[in-house]
A and B are shown apart, each in its own frame.
Chain A
Amino acid sequence: MSTEASGSGGASTATTPPMIKATAADKYFGDLHVLKDINLEVPRGQVVVVLGPSGSGKSTLCRAINRLEPINSGTIEVDGEPLPAEGKALAALRADVGMVFQQFNLFSHKSIIENVTLGPVKVRRVSQSEARTTAMELLERVGIADQAEKYPAQLSGGQQQRAAIARALAMKPKVMLFDEPTSALDPEMVQEVLDTMTSLADEGMTMVVVTHEMGFARRAAHRVLFMADGEVVEDSTPQDFFSNPKTDRAKDFLGKILTH
């Protein structure tokens, strides 16, 4: 990785809006204040890794970006567009934001190729044959073209997660959100998924990645956000964060993570 030292990945000039922009975003679950005054700009092409202890709001932040979890106040914009309310406009926005889940969430009653072609055909209105061609290219790229006709349950976890990444990429998204994509995997399958993600990062995809994989954060991330209790308490480069954490929370967190 060559871009390691830069604080931000892609160009962020005054004319292009940031890919993701959150302004004073707050989120509550009942009385629980889960996101506290989040202000964040993610320029195009930047790879942001979100770290933090369990329950700090990482998933919620990730899910707020495509409004799977609506925020209570503040605004979130994707590519200059504020998130619309539930409905057609929101569906259209979600089509541009790829999401990869911890539990893969492949459609279990559809084959891998059907999983990958569904979005393009039903949302983007691409022809079945064109969608298939693109899907096969993507499956080739994530290394599971030979599994195309199988059902998700017949694949290993690592293969399923790579299929899920292909499914998201088939929509040609502007941004990719990853919520602990390797946490449900057996250790020997983690690397194959991280490799896929790293190559995506190298190609300039804007990515928000919640992960506990410190190796990935060091190698592929341009920026690290450290969250605690619903707040972003550190926002720095991976080097700075790992070698010189500023807050006690971060030091404590790194101490726990790096000692095992």
Chain B
Amino acid sequence: MFDFLTEYDILGAFWVTVQLTVYSAIGSLIWGTILAGMRVSPVPVMRAFGTAYVNIVRNIPLTLVIIAMSLGLYQTLNVALGGNTITATNFRLAILGFVLYTSTFVCESLRSGINTVPVGQAEAARALGLGFGQVLRMIVLPQAFRSVIGPLTSVLIALTKNTTVASTIGVAEASLLMSEMTENESDVIGLVFMIFAMGFVILTLPVGLLLGRVAKKAAVKR
């Protein structure tokens, strides 16, 4: 019954999913943090940019963002992000799309975390002579991160599942393989679905568990 499995590189496909997720997660955390910094910055232009960016990008369906990367960036503007093959280019374009999109959710989670940090913390830091960037980096963000580990976990889990959208521009991640298999192995569709669903659960569960533990540790330290 499971014989057909050997014809497909399921692990390989999930490996692509993992890579998409990890690179996108790192990028989203960095860009999302910068966006959050902009949204609370004293410079009006930065605040306006951050607000506009988040409100626009967050409300575009992810599929459109990803297609825009391929159609707009690559096929129209010829931005290949240094990829030598079409496969490599699409992979990178997909990551860029995920970063642009997911960072808005990282930003908003962080911003709600920033709002939970008492203003006195930033005031005391400013009174010591720390600049805006230092106050944000050393005092406000570390405390904000701790209070939003839960929401950030949800964002990262959503990201893991969202990577399936990369298949729309031909990135060979898990869901693309699944579509192929459901077509070829129509007699065992249920089994194919089960395998891939389990695969995603196996990927996302550890994220939740790990961050849950981090959250507990951070809570104790306070």
Interface set of A (CB-CB < 8 Å, partner B):
66, 68, 86, 88, 91-99, 101, 103, 105-109, 118-119, 122-123, 151, 153, 164, 167-168, 171
B 154-192 binary contact with A (CB < 8 Å = 1; else 0): 000000000000000000000000000000000000000
Which B residues between 124 and 148 are near A, CB-CB below 8 angstroms?
124-131, 134, 138-139, 142-143, 146
| Chain B residues with CB under 8 A of A108 | 121, 143, 222
Q: Is the CB of B128 within 8 A of A94?
A: yes
Cβ-defined contact, B130 with A122, below 8 A: yes
Q: How large is the interface on B (under 10, 10 to 19, 20 to 34, 35 or more residues)?
A: 20 to 34
Tell me which of B125, B128, B139, B143 has the highest count of chain A C-beta atoms within 10 A of its own C-beta.
B128
Residues on B with beta carbons closer than 8 Å to the beta carbon of A97: 127
Contacts A99-B127, A108-B121 aside, 7 further interface pairs with beta carbons under 8 A come to A68-B127, A94-B127, A101-B120, A107-B121, A108-B222, A109-B142, A118-B130
CB pair A107–B139 under 8 Å, yes or no, is yes
Seen from chain B, the residues whose Cβ lies within 8 Å of a Cβ on chain A are: 42, 118, 120-121, 123-131, 134, 138-139, 142-143, 146, 221-222
Minimum CB–CB distance from B7 to chain A (whole Å) comes to 53
Cβ of B152 to closest chain A Cβ, rounded Å: 17
Question: Smallest Cβ distance from B29 to chain A, in angstroms?
Answer: 18
Give, as a whole number of angstroms, the nearest-CB distance from A88 to chain B: 7
In the bound assembly, the distance between CA atoms of A105 and B121 in angstroms comes to: 5
Known: A103-B120, A105-B120, A151-B221. A118 touches B42 (CB 8 A): no
Question: Shortest distance in angstroms between A167's beta carbon and chain B's nearest beta carbon?
Answer: 7
Chain B residues whose C-beta falls within 8 Å of the C-beta of A119 in the assembled complex: 128-130
A180 CB, nearest partner CB in chain B, Å: 13
Q: Select from chain A the residue with minimum beta-carbon distance to B218.
A: A109
Q: How far is the CB of B138 from chain A (nearest CB, A)?
A: 7
Judge whether B124 and A107 touch: CB under 8 Å: yes
Across-interface contacts of A96 in B (CB, < 8 A): 129
Across the two chains, which residue of chain A brings its CB closest to B117? A108
For A107, list chain B residues within 8 Å (CB): 121, 124-125, 139
Q: Least Cβ distance of B127 to chain A in Å?
A: 4
Q: How far is the CA of A66 from the CA of B130 in the complex (A)?
A: 13
CB distance from A199 to the nearest CB of B (A): 22
Docked CA distance A108–B218 (Å):
12
Which B residues touch A164, using CB under 8 A?
124
A245, chain B: closest CB distance, angstroms: 32
Which chain B residue shows the least CB distance to A153?
A: B222
Residue in contact with A88 in the complex, picked from B118, B125, B131, B142, CB distance below 8 Å: B131
Q: How far is the CB of B88 from chain A (nearest CB, A)?
A: 41
Residue of A nearest to B127 (CB): A99
Residues in A with CB closer than 8 Å to B120 are 101, 103, 105
Q: How far is the CB of A190 from chain B (nearest CB, A)?
A: 20
Which residue in chain B gives the minimum CB-CB distance to A66?
B127
A residues near B131, Cβ cutoff 8 Å: 88, 91
Residue of A nearest to B125 (CB): A107
Q: How far is the CA of A101 from the CA of B123 in the complex (A)?
A: 9
Residues in chain B near residue A99, CB distance under 8 A: 124, 127
Distance to closest chain B CB from A6 (angstroms)? 30
A-B pairs with beta carbons under 8 Å apart, 17 shown: A66-B127, A68-B126, A93-B129, A94-B126, A94-B128, A98-B127, A99-B127, A101-B123, A101-B124, A108-B222, A109-B142, A122-B138, A123-B129, A151-B222, A153-B222, A171-B128, A171-B129
Q: Kindly state the separation between the CA atoms of A103 and B120 in the bound complex, as whole angstroms.
A: 8
Q: Which chain B residues lie closer than 8 Å to A171 at the CB level? A: 128-129
Please give me the residue from chain B that is nearest to A171 by CB atom: B128
Bound together, the chains give a CA A164 to CA B127 distance in angstroms of 12
Alpha-carbon gap, A96 to B128, bound state (A): 8
Residue of A103, A105, A123, A168 near B130 (CB, 8 A) is A123
Q: Is the CB of B222 within 8 A of A105?
A: no
Shortest Cβ distance from residue A150 to the other chain B in the assembled complex, whole angstroms? 11
**In the bound complex, what is the Cα–Cα distance between A167 and B129 (angstroms)?**
12
Q: Determine the residue in chain A with the shortest Cβ distance to B123.
A: A68
Residues of B within 8 A of A93 (CB): 129
